[in-house]
Chain A
Amino acid sequence: MKLIDRYVTEVGRRLPLFRGRKDIENELRSTLEDMLEDRAKKVGRASDEAMETELLREYGAPEGVASSYNPMPYLIGPRMFPFFMMVLKIAVSVLTVVLLVLLGVQISTQSPMTGMEFAKAIGEGLLGIVSAAIAAFGNIVLVFAILERFVPASEFKLGEQKEWDPLSLKKEPEPEEIKPWEPIFAIVLTFIAISIFNFNPQLIGFYSFSGDAWVVIPALTDAFFRWLPLINISWVAEIILNGLLLRSGRWGTQTRLFSMAIKVLQIVIGYFLLTGPNIFALTPDSLKAIQGLDVELPQILGTIFQQAGRGIIALIMFIEGIDLVKTGYRLITQRR
């Protein structure tokens, strides 16, 4: 077998089977033989292997020659890519939300859990989300790679045909409109908070490793849990509010009034938590139970936790207050 034949076979191996491979091979062989003949005529002697080698070296590596015939060196091309990205974002977002909700349900139904069990459940849940996202990504890529090769370009123009109107830039986004992920995210977070505070309150605490096991010093006193039913009411109200927002997709008079009522309730709860019996169990005395701590450290940490806890409640009340004013203002301006 001549070098040219081997070269042509090497190029052919890298060409798509059903896109004229044989044809390209024949044409390439014919061209190379023409070129070789030309060279032999120029030097006035018959072609030999050295001449063949020189020619093939100049023609280039088989990979490069084959790739010049490949019209589609990509998996998903430019015409499909925007639609691919849109489908991917939607699929991964929906998958993540669904799995987070399932994780919340699992945690709340398996209570009471130890710290390790809780960490394990969270870890496994997050791992499941990552695995599912990767699997979804792979499947979507596969589907689009197939579409790319078998759907004619004329049947897949997506939004290209729509005539774009520059006047659409004049339309300002309405403040009443909300993005769907916002209420979904709020619902998931509220759901997780309800499941932890009601079903696994032992998880809220100061963790320290003592000897061969984790020791948890509770962060909240019984005084806090006496307010929990009222806090639960505000959280359930939050879930209902976000459900309404998710359904309507925009703020309205009723949802704004409902939101203001919830904020008032939360500010009142905050006030009682701040002015009533101490709700923070992490004190200099309770922290002394941790073995191996420096003598002064419990005193310092306990004071920090007490002050920080109160500070956080005050900050939340302040933010809720500002939100209350903003919501009231929007309610008034919306009605004009």
Chain B
Amino acid sequence: MTNTESLENVVLELRRGVIVLAALSQLGTEQYGYSLLKQLADLGLEVDQGTLYPLLRRLEAQGLLESVWKIEESRPRRYYVISSEGRKILPKLKKEWTGIVATMSRMLA
């Protein structure tokens, strides 16, 4: 494995860790998968679709998201939105994230 590959893998792992929080934070209003993907990209977080869609399904299975099929522009789309359980844990996750950022900032200063 080359240095570049190692770096890419580490960056990928770092990003993967924050996708759950990123997705939950953006699903206060309902969105379908592709629109969420574009929104995350617009905000600077490029996520692979092969990562995002299975993650959305997993979060739904865990009860943190809810989904519903809607037909729009003659096309069925699955819309996701944060569930009441997801709303409960989101502030805790945000607090945890703030703590991690503060700790890492101290370490990397």
Cβ-closest chain B residue relative to A67: B50
Instruction: Tell me what chain A mostly uses at the interface: helix, strand, loop, or mixed.
Output: helix
Is the CB–CB distance between B32 and A68 below 8 Å? no
> A271: CB under 8 A from chain B?
no
Residues of chain B within 8 A (CB-CB) of A177 are none
B 65-90 binary contact with A (CB < 8 Å = 1; else 0): 00001000001111000000000000
Cβ-closest chain B residue relative to A35: B34
List the count of A-B residue pairs having beta carbons below 8 Å apart: 40
A30 to B76, CA, bound (A): 7
A 111-122 binary contact with B (CB < 8 Å = 1; else 0): 000000000000
A307 to B49, CA, bound (A): 78
Residues of chain A within 8 A (CB-CB) of B54 are 68-69, 71
Is the CB–CB distance between B33 and A31 below 8 Å? yes
Q: Which of B50, B58, B77 contacts A64 (CB 8 A)?
A: B50
A4 to B78, CA, bound (A): 18
Nearest CB in chain B: distance from A226 CB, A: 71
A248 to B78, CA, bound (A): 66
Within 8 A of B (CB), among A61-77: 64-65, 68-69, 71
Within 8 A of A (CB), among B44-66: 49-51, 53-54, 57-58
Nearest CB in chain A: distance from B39 CB, A: 13
A71 to B60, CA, bound (A): 14
Is the CB–CB distance between A31 and B50 below 8 Å? no
A27 to B53, CA, bound (A): 9
Cβ-closest chain B residue relative to A31: B34
> A59: CB under 8 A from chain B?
yes
**Total residues of chain B contacting the partner, CB 8 A:** 15
Nearest CB in chain B: distance from A28 CB, A: 8
Instruction: Tell me what chain B mostly uses at the interface: helix, strand, loop, or mixed.
Output: helix
Q: Which of B32, B57, B69, B76 contacts A20 (CB 8 A)?
A: B57
Q: Which of A33, A34, A60, A71 contacts B50 (CB 8 A)?
A: A60
Is the CB–CB distance between A59 and B49 below 8 Å? yes
> A26: CB under 8 A from chain B?
yes
Is the CB–CB distance between B75 and A33 below 8 Å? yes
Residues of chain B within 8 A (CB-CB) of A33 are 75
Is the CB–CB distance between B76 and A31 below 8 Å? no
Is the CB–CB distance between A27 and B75 below 8 Å? no
Within 8 A of B (CB), among A9-30: 20, 23-24, 26-28, 30
A33 to B76, CA, bound (A): 11
Is the CB–CB distance between B58 and A71 below 8 Å? yes
Within 8 A of B (CB), among A209-223: none
Residues of chain A within 8 A (CB-CB) of B77 are 30, 34
Residues of chain B within 8 A (CB-CB) of A68 are 50-51, 53-54
Residues of chain A within 8 A (CB-CB) of B53 are 24, 27-28, 31, 68-69
Residues of chain B within 8 A (CB-CB) of A34 are 32, 34, 75, 77
A231 to B58, CA, bound (A): 70
Is the CB–CB distance between B78 and A26 below 8 Å? yes
Chain B residues with CB under 8 Å of chain A are 32-34, 49-51, 53-54, 57-58, 69, 75-78
Chain A residues with CB under 8 Å of chain B are 20, 23-24, 26-28, 30-31, 33-35, 59-60, 64-65, 68-69, 71
Given contacts A24-B57, A26-B69, A27-B33, 18 further A-B contacts (CB under 8 A): A23-B78, A24-B53, A26-B78, A27-B53, A30-B34, A30-B75, A31-B33, A31-B34, A31-B49, A31-B53, A34-B32, A34-B34, A34-B77, A65-B50, A68-B50, A68-B54, A69-B54, A71-B54
